[in-house]
């Protein structure tokens, strides 16, 4: 038995690679034909349909809202910062949305999710697309963490914050043959330092939705979007630090990032979802690293180590974002640079309480 396994280990990978190399042009041609056919003939007409977007108050979620708005959908925008949703809802209406509802809600709380999905259905009588974008990254090495109670918070937002809305929306999505759009990340398989828990949550997310895909069969579509570095609040340094506070790199806060790949990616994701694509990747050439991960993991490891670890000491300062995530002890100085807290955690405003659905 061991001999057979050893022989297969030796033969199957190169044989499969050779077969794939020959089949690749044909497969690419078939995919291209399918893509053209779906774009021309089967792309979903979204006019008057109902799209719920979590994490719509910034970044990719905000741009996705605008892309759907151009398709004249009715939008339901969810995030904790209601004041930001107000401006975004006005922009969305200008771009073509008939009705835009906004609601401050925390996707980590099942009751909040139940409330915004039920109220969406009560108001519009249907839910067609659920777009999960709510997320939080982090910027500490695993061993730097000073309080392990921050670990579940990251998993809560990045994993359960997708699962709860999906769970409560599924019965309604089945009625409309609707679609779930998931924002994962290339980090679900490509490791980056300082993001171990975020990457783990994204891996869990991808596996969860791949399994759900089988369970819901064709009754509800699932589009998994994986992307690399996109200019948003997250890439402008909004992260959880090792004491568990949600903070932002001061120097990066005001960096203007529009006009970059956020709009491009939002366009790709919405057209992919409307076409019924199971995956949207940006940029798609990242997939090549996956081959290295499987066939030459050491090459990938040393390349990433060379590129990412050596120069990643950050010399900058943090400010609070207004949302203490934990009641915690005073912040500890990080190695590699001074920390300036322009607002102490105690002075920050409390988290917004869930509010009534608002029609803008």
C-alpha–C-alpha distance, residues 261 and 257, integer Å: 9
> Catalytic one among 198, 209, 279, 292?
198
**Which residue number, 55 or 244, has a Cβ lying nearer to ligand NAP?**
55
Handedness of CA 200, 202, 208, 211 (dihedral sign): negative
**Which residue number, 108 or 245, has a Cβ lying nearer to ligand NAP?**
108
Residues 165 and 130: beta-carbon distance below 8 Å: yes
**Which residue number, 81 or 99, has a Cβ lying nearer to ligand NAP?**
81
Among 230, 240, 241, 266, binds ligand NAP (CB under 6 A): 230
Among 97, 166, 183, 196, binds ligand NAP (CB under 6 A): 183
Annotation says 198 is catalytic:
yes
- Strand 279-282 relative to strand 358-359, pairing: unpaired
Whose CB is nearest to ligand NAP? 59
The alpha-carbon radius of gyration of the chain (Å, integer) is: 22
Q: Does 135 interact with ligand NAP (rule: CB under 6 A)?
A: yes
Q: Does 229 interact with ligand NAP (rule: CB under 6 A)?
A: yes
Among 55, 165, 178, 324, binds ligand NAP (CB under 6 A): 55
Q: Does 194 interact with ligand NAP (rule: CB under 6 A)?
A: no
User: Helices 59-70 and 261-275: crossing angle, nearest 10°?
Assistant: 50
DSSP H helices, 96-195, are 110-124, 150-155, 161-176
Residue whose token pair is 């921050």 = 150
Tally Cβ neighbours within 10 Å of residue 323: 18
Which among 80-88, 209-217, 270-278, 301-309 is the span making contact with ligand NAP, rule CB under 6 A?
80-88
Residues lying near ligand NAP in the complex (CB under 6 A) are found at 54-61, 79-81, 84, 106-108, 133-136, 157, 161, 183, 185, 227, 229-230, 232-235, 238
């Amino acid at each position: 038995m061991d001999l057979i396994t050893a022989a297969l280990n030796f033969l199957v990978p190169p044989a499969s690679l050779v077969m794939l190399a020959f089949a690749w042009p044909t497969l690419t041609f078939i995919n291209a034909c399918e893509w053209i056919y779906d774009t021309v003939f089967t792309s979903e007409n979204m006019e008057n349909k109902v799209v719920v977007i979590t994490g719509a108050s910034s970044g990719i979620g905000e741009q996705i809202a605008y892309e759907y708005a151009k398709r004249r959908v009715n939008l339901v925008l969810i995030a904790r910062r209601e004041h930001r949703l107000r401006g975004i809802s006005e922009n969305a209406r200008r771009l073509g949305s008939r009705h835009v509802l906004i609601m401050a809600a925390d996707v980590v709380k099942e009751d909040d999710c139940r409330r915004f999905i039920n109220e969406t259905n009560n108001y519009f009588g249907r839910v067609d697309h659920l777009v999960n974008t709510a997320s939080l990254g982090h910027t500490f090495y695993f061993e730097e963490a000073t309080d392990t109670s921050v670990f579940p918070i990251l998993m809560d937002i990045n994993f359960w914050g997708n699962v709860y809305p999906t769970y409560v929306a599924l019965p309604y999505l089945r009625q409309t043959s609707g679609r779930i759009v998931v924002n994962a990340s290339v980090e679900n398989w490509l490791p980056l330092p300082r993001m171990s828990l975020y990457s783990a949550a994204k891996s869990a997310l991808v596996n969860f939705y791949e399994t759900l895909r089988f369970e819901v069969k064709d009754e509800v579509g699932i589009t998994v979007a994986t992307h690399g570095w996109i200019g948003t609040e997250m890439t402008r340094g909004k992260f959880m630090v090792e004491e568990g506070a949600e903070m932002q790199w001061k120097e990066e806060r005001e960096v203007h990032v529009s006009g970059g790949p956020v709009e491009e990616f939002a366009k790709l994701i919405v057209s992919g979802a409307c076409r019924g694509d199971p995956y949207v990747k940006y940029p798609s050439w990242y997939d090549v690293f996956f081959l290295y991960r499987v066939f030459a993991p050491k090459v990938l490891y040393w390349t990433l180590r060379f590129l990412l670890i050596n120069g990643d000491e950050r010399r900058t300062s943090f400010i609070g974002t207004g949302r203490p995530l934990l009641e915690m002890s005073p912040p500890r100085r990080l190695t590699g640079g001074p920390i300036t807290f322009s607002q102490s955690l105690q002075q920050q405003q409390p988290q917004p309480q869930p509010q009534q659905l608002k029609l803008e």
